């Protein structure tokens, strides 16, 4: 079945769409599309009404033209608006939305949303974590591929996932200096190697500061943005993971490894869903706040992605009566 994935181009949202499509065994064609200004600022409750039929004319990004897909997986508020318009054009397609669509779930065949979105409905599948593609097999593959890159770095290895500015928060250089200081303290006290990957949201100035501080440190690797990001290799090879509290996706990936996870709070980043999610991880004993030493602990990592995929299959691709065994 032809499948489209629709997002506003954000890496985290694309990752969730690809993860769900992969778990369903679907090859997904990613589309970056959102409504043009000023239409993009309309609440989705308005877009779901008469405006929906005009949406295809109000889009920016990739063209959405035939041949049409049989299934559409969208992620994020802006992508939800696009999906609402597409549904007017291809009503026979199945529409799955990831995250809170900020409109009634009834407008989609299924909505997959985290518990902190507080959505309910017969067609809502609730999850503890963000959707992800991390499995024991994928980690084993990443470990084999990227091990040669990190042979020069002595154990213990600590993967460091750094986020940055969001639509509700700005990572200023003064704040980044505090982040760097905490990493220096941990590296010195624990005598560990840091495998650091900044994100696009970290910003050039903040990333340059990170490189300058650790330039002469032989036990620190920083991804330079050239070639494939060894993100999954870092997670696979690390003895522990440090992750900033601004990205539910990165925190989910860290916890999916089953390894000790340390939360590195970005100063001033409080009260948001990601920050509250981080606190919940700490409260559940899954993660701990970063300090100056490395500990070992364990926590349960169930196959939530498998459960979600099975539920989506049951609801979207039901077997004809009499098939499927006992």
Confidence of residue 322 (pLDDT cuts 50, 70, 90): very low
Asked whether the predicted pLDDT for residue 321 surpasses 90, the reply is no
Consecutive H or E run containing 67: none
Pick from 109, 49, 40: which is nearest to 76 by CA?
Answer: 40
Helix (H) / strand (E) containing 61:
strand 59-61
What the block records as the tokens of 43 is 């609440």
User: What pLDDT, in 10s, does the model give residues 276-295?
Assistant: 999 999 999 999 999 989 99
pLDDT at 326: 32
Find the Cα–Cα–Cα–Cα dihedral 207, 212, 218, 221, rounded to 10°.
Answer: 10
pLDDT band with cut points at 50, 70 and 90 for residue 121? very high
pLDDT tens digit sequence for 73-119: 999 998 998 998 889 889 999 999 999 999 999 999 999 999 988 89
pLDDT for the residue 256: 95
pLDDT score at 55: 77
Q: Mean pLDDT in the chain?
A: 91
* Cα three-residue angle 231-234-239, rounded to 5 degrees: 150
Q: What pLDDT shows up at residue 168?
A: 82
Residue (of 6, 11, 7) closest to 229 by Cα position: 11
The mean pLDDT of 52-66, rounded to a whole number, is 78
Domains for the chain: give ranges and CATH numbers.
3-127+306-316 (3.40.50), 136-289 (3.40.50.2000)
Three-state SS sequence of 12-48: HHHHHHHHHHHHCCCCEEEEEEEECCCHHHCCHHHHC
Report residue 153 as tokens.
């770095």
Residue 32 in this model has a pLDDT that exceeds 50: yes
Per-residue confidence band for 324, with pLDDT thresholds at 50, 70 and 90: very low
Cα–Cα dist 294/218, whole Å: 20
**According to the model, what pLDDT value does residue 51 have?**
74
Q: What is the pLDDT of residue 325?
A: 40
Place 149 in a pLDDT band, splitting at 50, 70 and 90.
Answer: very high
Contact 264, 242 (CB under 8 A): yes
Structure tokens at 108: 């989609």
Residue 61 — pLDDT band, cuts 50, 70, 90? confident
Say how far apart CA 294 and CA 261 lie, in whole Å. 10
CA distance 231 to 225: 11
Q: Is 247 exposed, middle or buried (0-12, 13-18, 19+ CB in 10 A)?
A: buried
d(CA 247, CA 261): 14
Give the DSSP letter string of 133-176. Answer: ---HHHHHHHHHHHGGGGTTSPSSEEEEEE---BTTB---HHHH
Answer with the residue of higher pLDDT: 77 or 262.
262
**Helix residue ranges, H only, the chain:** 11-23, 44-47, 77-89, 136-146, 173-190, 204-214, 231-237, 248-256, 273-283, 304-316
Distance in angstroms between the alpha carbons of the first and the last residue of the chain: 26
Structure tokens at 28: 């997904």
- Quick one: average pLDDT of 224-246? 96
Q: What percent of the chain has pLDDT over 70?
A: 97
**Reported confidence tier of residue 318, pLDDT bands at 50, 70, 90:** low
pLDDT confidence of residue 11: 87
């Amino acid at each position: 079945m032809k499948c489209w994935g629709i997002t506003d181009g954000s890496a985290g949202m694309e990752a969730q769409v690809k993860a769900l499509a992969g778990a369903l065994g679907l090859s997904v064609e990613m589309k970056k599309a959102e409504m043009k200004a000023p239409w993009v600022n309309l609440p989705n409750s308005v877009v779901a009404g008469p405006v929906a039929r005009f949406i295809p004319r109000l889009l920016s990004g990739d063209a959405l033209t035939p041949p049409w897909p049989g299934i559409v997986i969208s992620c994020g508020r802006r992508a939800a608006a696009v999906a609402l318009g597409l549904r007017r054009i291809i009503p026979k397609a199945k529409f799955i939305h990831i995250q809170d669509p900020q409109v009634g779930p009834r407008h989609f065949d299924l909505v997959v949303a985290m518990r902190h979105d507080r959505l309910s409905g017969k067609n809502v599948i609730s999850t503890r974590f963000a959707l992800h593609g991390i499995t024991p097999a994928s980690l084993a593959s990443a470990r084999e591929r990227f091990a040669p890159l990190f042979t020069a770095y002595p154990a213990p290895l600590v993967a460091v996932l750094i986020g940055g500015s969001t639509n509700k928060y700005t990572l200023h250089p003064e704040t980044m200096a505090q982040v760097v200081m905490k990493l220096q303290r941990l590296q010195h006290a624990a005598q560990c190697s840091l495998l650091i990957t900044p994100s696009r949201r970290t910003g050039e100035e903040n990333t340059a500061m990170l490189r300058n501080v650790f330039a002469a440190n032989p036990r620190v690797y920083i991804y330079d943005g050239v070639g494939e990001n060894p993100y999954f290799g870092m997670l696979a090879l690390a003895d522990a993971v440090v992750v900033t509290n601004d990205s539910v996706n990165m925190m989910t990936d860290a916890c999916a490894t089953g390894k000790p996870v340390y939360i590195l709070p970005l100063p001033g980043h409080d009260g948001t869903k990601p920050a509250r999610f981080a606190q919940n991880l700490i409260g559940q004993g899954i993660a701990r706040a970063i300090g100056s030493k490395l500990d070992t602990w364990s926590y349960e990592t169930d196959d939530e992605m498998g459960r979600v995929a099975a539920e989506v299959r049951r609801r979207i691709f039901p077997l004809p009566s009499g098939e499927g065994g006992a």
